[in-house]
Structure 1
């Protein structure tokens, strides 16, 4: 089975020992992703809508590296620190995926890797 992985080079990936995304055969799984810039700083603190869009942008880049794209996404998961942000996070998800409409889960969690992060996202893609 074909197995490839990609990394964004963040300190967390090296420290924790994980990959941003792995393609195994025709399936690509993208790890939990928060909205950070190239320096590892959280983008748009306090703005779950912008954080969601930015995080899914990172997901899209990881997919592209592994010969997949947004149209291949079949499942997403969104972890929010405040379920009251569900409309903003859902709106960003809807705008990002459009007609792709993957199955989606959103749950509230007590915290993420950094307190400035309001949302963390994951994705699974199936490539033909």
Structure 2
């Protein structure tokens, strides 16, 4: 099976050695994505704003892969502070409410203390 690698241009991808997303057959696997604006490499201090940026970053990767947020079948959320999750729900519902993917949320530390949420998704694609 041939693979297509998608990059967001984030320096993390080059430094660590991974792709923002990988297309394998009819599946798109999007790496854990944080709230950095990859064009400016800035990140908001607000968890809700970070969640919105995460979803924009994920949507851009899915579009490059021939997919969309409506095609997401699985989502994993990671937050250092579990109590922050509820504030994110309206943003998540806005972007994933049509897809209603299977989901999991865990509380764990993230690479950079400025990061308040990381989101990973798996989606179908339409070649």
For residue 31 of structure 1, report the CA deviation from its aligned partner: 0.3
1:126 to 118, 124, 127: 124
1:48 aligns with 2:47: yes
| Structure 2 partner of 1:108 | 107
| Structure 2 partner of 1:39 | 40
For residue 93 of structure 1, report the CA deviation from its aligned partner: 1.0
Say what the alpha-carbon RMSD is for the aligned residues: 1.1
For residue 107 of structure 1, report the CA deviation from its aligned partner: 0.7
Q: Give the TM-score of the pair, scaled to structure 1.
A: 0.92
Q: Give the TM-score of the pair, scaled to structure 2.
A: 0.92
For residue 32 of structure 1, report the CA deviation from its aligned partner: 0.6
Describe the SS at the equivalent of 2:90.
helix
Aligned residues: 125
- Structure 2's unaligned 5+ residue stretches are none
Describe the SS at the equivalent of 1:99.
coil
Distance 1:106 1:91 in 2: 15
| Structure 2 partner of 1:24 | 24
- Structure 1's unaligned 5+ residue stretches are none
CA-to-aligned-CA distance 1:48-79 (integer Å, 9 cap, x gap): 11111110110000000011111110011110
Distance 2:31 2:96 in 1: 18
Distance 2:8 2:98 in 1: 27
